Amino acid sequence: MNNIDYDIYELGDINLISGETLLSAKLAYKTYGRLNSEKNNVIVLPTFYTGTHQRNEGFFGTNRAINPDKHFIISINLFGNGLSSSPSNAQTKQRGSKFPTINLFDNVACQHKLITENFGIKKIALIAGWSMAGCQAYQWAAQYPDMVQAILPFCASAKTSEHNFVFLEGVKAALCADPEWNSGNYVSQPIRGLKAFGRVYAGWAFSQEFFRKKTYKNLGYNNLEELLVDWENDHANNWDANNLLSKLLTWQKGDISIGNKYKNNFIKALESISAKTIIMPCSNDLYFPPEDNEYEAKYIKNCELRIYYSEYGHCVANPGNDKNFEIALDQAINDLLK
């Protein structure tokens, strides 16, 4: 980004759940709207895998359920996304391939510091998010159950499944096959690897039905190759390879039961969630399938599962792709904020 439109919260050195230390940690965040006197209008929007706070702006507006005229929206960038602490901007000792392992637990612990210590907020009305942002919503609700009043994870899960793990291994292998990758010690970005990463990813982001029906034409692509080239260029032009793989590792390690509180007892962690919960998977999501959410919903006390049917698959939630999903999402948000 050339124009800095966000704030930085300095955390100092942070002890990570992996046992490592993140030196001079920082969170990049942006707020929208105003915190009211009761401090009860707070909505937290973490960022997703290849997103920043700017991409989250597609989920709210003055004509939307999340409304900056009513709500104090805090959009917090994930570690590894190039704005918060990442391999590309870390202290010299931890730059590039030397960046420590970050868990969603660490992200949420640091977000909690920002929200409580910087803003003096004690309750969060809603945490919502797409994909890895939704995974953070689950993590928040399990890690700080007394603070979170409602969550809305969409196209996400509370624990990364083995199949999801394998999908991520595939895109990672495509990137790392580029000789320029050099175990993360590259002189210039491994462009061929980044393009391969994007091309492989495109096959997972949408469903089989999306391609069978040539629904990509609705997104402005004249043919399949145009979509694939666009996905290649998006990753090659916009992302640092080490940043992508740092966040990918965070995603692979996703599990709300990690740590001393639940000691990997996943059911206990789910049962601890007291937040009013609506889970919105997409029927044709290839790596966050509804079946995983159906299992979670059995153990979360105050939970409703709303499956949205669409051939767009995981990318149904990408702002602008499906107007009807936007309507369904806003309805769920309104129901949670009642």
On whether the CB atoms of residues 148 and 280 are closer than 8 A, the answer is: no
Task: Compute the distance between CA of residue 332 and CA of residue 338 in angstroms, rounded to an integer.
Answer: 10
Phi, psi of 225 (to 5 degrees): -65, -35
Residue 131 annotated as catalytic: yes
Residue 303 three-state SS = strand
Exposed/middle/buried for residue 134 (C-beta within 10 Å: 0-12, 13-18, 19+): buried
* CA distance from start to end of the chain: 37
Phi, psi of 174 (to 5 degrees): -65, -40
Residue 285 annotated as catalytic: yes
DSSP state at residue 208: H
Residue 163 annotated as catalytic: no
Cβ neighbours of 314 (radius 10 Å): 23
**What is the amino acid identity at position 108?**
V
Residue 154 three-state SS = strand
Q: Looking at 131, 157, 246, 272, which residue is catalytic?
A: 131
Extract long-range pairs of 219-227: CB within 8 Å, 24+ residues apart.
219/321, 227/202
Structure token pair of residue 290: 């509804």
DSSP state at residue 253: T
Q: Looking at 178, 285, 292, 322, which residue is catalytic?
A: 285
Residue-wise DSSP of 71-114: -EEEEEPPTTSSSSS-TTTS-GGGSGGGPPP--HHHHHHHHHHI
Q: Which stretches of 215-283 are DSSP H helices?
A: 224-238, 241-252, 266-272
DSSP state at residue 183: G
Residue 186: C-alpha distances to residues 102, 183, 240 (Å)? 21, 8, 11
By annotation, the residues acting in catalysis are: 131, 285, 314
